[in-house]
A and B are shown apart, each in its own frame.
Chain A
Amino acid sequence: MIPTSLNAWVATPEIFLLCSACIVLLFDLFVSDARKQVTYLLTLLVLALTAVLTIQSLQQGLALSASGVSAARFAFNHMYVADPVADFAKLGMLLGVALVLIYGRSYAIDRGIFKGELFTLTLFSLLGMMVMASATNFLTLYVGLELLSLAIYALVALPRGNVRASEAAMKYFVLGALASGMLLYGLSMLYGATGSLDVYEVSARIAQAQFNPMLLTFGMVFVVTGIGFKLGAVPFHMWVPDVYEGSPTLLAQLIGSAPKLAAFVFVLRLLGEAMGQFGPLWGEMLKYIAILSLVIGNLAAIAQTNIKRMLAYSTISHMGFLLLGVMTHSEIGYAAAFFYAMTYVITAAASFGLIMLLSRNGFECENIADFKGLNKRSPWFAGMMLMVMFSMAGIPAFVGFFAKLSVLRALVDSGLTWLAVVAIVFSLIGAFYYLRVVKVMYFDEPEGELLAPAGELDAKLLLSLNCLLLLVLGVFPNQLLTSLSHAVNLTMAGSAGMMLQ
């Protein structure tokens, strides 16, 4: 159906990233342990150059769509697509991964994981995410997912002497493998039902009624289950708190930020594009998953005393919100979910960055009590944490509010007002535990000695910028929101256009 051609230049960002990851891997051999800063800077340079290439690809796509041509450019024999959704998501992932490395630098040095593998495996996990964002074939989607997961399992297990990290890696690995199995089984059923692995081909066959409905529904259940596992949505959420708590904070940040964007695009392609015709059916499944995630995520977070576990449960509730946007199966819903995922990456990065800033050699800042009296120690970073917590709670003027608002608007537009009300009620409950952190910082007396936040100047500066960005985006959300919804519209229109062929 599609002319056979490699058209490899479309995938320049990924090809560049792969080649430079291999170069970093080799280069690192010749760098002594004491001078890993060189590898670190090289990795950041790679991320910056990949971002430049991605921006070029994005501009190309937008220019194409402005001139009336489809913005989607295919490569590798229809296995890969570069469209604005993929490019925006990749930019978000690049930012997320760069922030992990910058915020986590002194944390990693203190804990002896500032090693070559940290950088190469992070780059490979990023490659996996980028492939997931651009894949238009179930096979490529799956391989990208595995690339991401495998690199992260290894990263979590990297501090070998740390029993909790090994335990977290083991749990993550076993449950991740189970989820992959579910997903793969579901995908094989879809292949059996439609006879194709191509996202657009599957969608076209469904539209032309050339499929086995029973087998397709059966496969879809497994696909949704697999996605639920990967997103960490209830009832497949058990691994999230343990993994967040056990893994080094910098890897918790890696797990909790950029992959959520990849997972969103994954859901968009798999459910929205390939099985768009079955929107009501999987929408119903996602609806219950989302409600359960909101309920359990927010209620369980209240009981936590460990801030990493609290953030884990908060992630679960945020994923519930994201799924609420997706389940409407409307362009406005996808755009809202995309905006949600994008801003969540920035917010999560800031929250973990602050936790790492307060940790130092021999002291792991992980209990909410460790934030007691932060205002007395460092008013500036207490203010930053306040912004992050307000944004996560969805208090107006911060970006989290607009992310939640756009999802709610999509719900109301789809006539699901009752669902919007449920979401608001549980956000209000959730606000309790975010505000508790604020209360602890400002109104509790500090315990023990007053330690100022550690960390390098660049990390502090960037962290401040990151937190201020939450406010800036909260005041001016329209620019980002319109570009993202434009991208989603282009992709959905492109997918509808493909189906008509």
Chain B
Amino acid sequence: MTLALFYIFAAVLVFGALRVITAKNPVHAVLWLILSFFTSACLWILLKAEFLAVSLVVIYVGAVMVLFLFVVMMLDINFEELRKGFWKFFPVAAVVAAIMMVEMVLVLTNRYAQIPGAELVEQAPTVQDLGRLIYIDYFLPFQLSAVLLLVGMIAAIGLTIRKRKNTKYQSPGEQIAVKAADRVRVLKMAADAPLEAPAAPAADAGEQKPQA
């Protein structure tokens, strides 16, 4: 049963990974990548590495890929331009791929590179083990690392935040409080009078000058 599941997941994973590199639309590629990550998380579960699986979903699928999607959608990249050099770089890529292939074969088939995989699976750390390590054995360094991140955050904000003068920004409160009379000025004029230059409506009422 596990074997059958493994093949199903593996097939989905390989298909998804192939679509990542063959998809024409980069947004589709990212979506296929999400599928690949999710399927590899399922494979981790089969290997009883539930923490890895959960963190893969939470971190990669949940956070990194969303960021990727945003980046891909927001940046105006000319993908045709990027694809142009494909055949030019193909020989180099092929060499690299071939070397990687040979290395993999060496590691997987060589007798000296065999690791006792079955034993490793039995000893795989569970969430409970990790929790014990983080919250009992290494409680202090763990908490201090959190403080370190906090300091990093304070530093980043402290070094980059600046109140610019002369920038225009919206003040929602004043936008809501604006009345029709502030925006439109009704002019009374004689219908047969010569046309004067229309007074500009005070359209900028919502855009306030910043308070110095």
A residues contacting B by CB (< 8 A) are 4, 6, 11, 18, 22, 25, 75-77, 79-80, 115, 117, 120-121, 124, 127, 131, 137, 139-140, 143-144, 146-147, 150-151, 153-154, 157-158, 160
Contacts and interface: CB of A to CB of B under 8 A. Distances in A.
A150 B152 contact: yes
B139 to A, nearest CB: 5
Contact of A160 (B136, B145, B151, B162): B162
A76 B155 contact: no
B3 to A, nearest CB: 38
Contacts of B116: none
Nearest to A18: B147
Given A76-B139, A79-B138, A79-B139, A154 B155 contact: yes
Contact of B148 (A117, A139, A146): A146
Given A22-B150, A120-B154, 9 more contacts: A4-B137, A77-B140, A117-B154, A124-B154, A137-B141, A147-B144, A150-B155, A151-B151, A157-B159
Contacts of A79: 138-141
Contacts of A6: 136, 139
A131 B150 CA distance: 16
Given A117-B158, A160-B162, A154 B151 contact: yes
24 contacts: A4-B136, A4-B137, A6-B136, A6-B139, A18-B147, A76-B140, A77-B136, A77-B138, A77-B140, A115-B158, A121-B154, A121-B155, A124-B150, A124-B151, A124-B154, A139-B138, A139-B141, A143-B144, A143-B145, A146-B148, A147-B148, A154-B154, A154-B159, A160-B159
Nearest to B135: A6
Chain A interface mostly:
helix
A151 B155 contact: yes
Contacts of B150: 22, 124
Interface of B: 136-141, 144-145, 147-148, 150-152, 154-155, 158-159, 162
Contacts of A147: 144, 147-148, 151
Contacts of A121: 151, 154-155, 158
A158 B141 contact: no
Contacts of B137: 4, 77
Contact of A131 (B136, B144, B155): B144
Q: Which 6 pairs, one residue from A and one from B, show the smallest C-beta to C-beta distance?
A: A154-B155, A117-B158, A76-B140, A79-B140, A143-B144, A139-B141
A150 B151 contact: yes
Contacts of B147: 18, 124, 127, 147
Contacts of A144: 144
A164 B150 CA distance: 26
Nearest to A77: B137
Contacts of B162: 160
A26 to B, nearest CB: 12
Contacts of B154: 25, 117, 120-121, 124, 154
Nearest to A147: B148
A118 to B, nearest CB: 9
A154 B158 contact: yes
A80 B139 CA distance: 11
B140 A140 contact: yes
Nearest to B152: A150
A160 B155 CA distance: 12
Contacts of B158: 115, 117, 121, 154, 158
Residue of B138, B144, B145, B154 most packed against chain A (CB within 10 A) = B144
Residue of B139, B141, B155 most packed against chain A (CB within 10 A) = B141
A151 to B, nearest CB: 5
Nearest to A120: B154
Contacts of B159: 154, 157-158, 160
Residue of B140, B141, B144, B159 most packed against chain A (CB within 10 A) = B140
A128 B151 CA distance: 11
A143 B154 CA distance: 17
Nearest to A139: B141
Nearest to B145: A143
A49 to B, nearest CB: 19
B144 A140 contact: yes
A385 B88 CA distance: 71
Nearest to A169: B159
Contacts of A11: 140
A143 B162 CA distance: 30
B163 to A, nearest CB: 10
A490 to B, nearest CB: 22
Nearest to A138: B141
A143 B155 contact: no
Nearest to B155: A154
A24 B138 CA distance: 27
A391 B31 CA distance: 69
B141 A140 contact: yes
A80 B155 contact: no
Contacts of A158: 158-159
A143 B136 contact: no
A77 B150 CA distance: 24
Contacts of A117: 154-155, 158
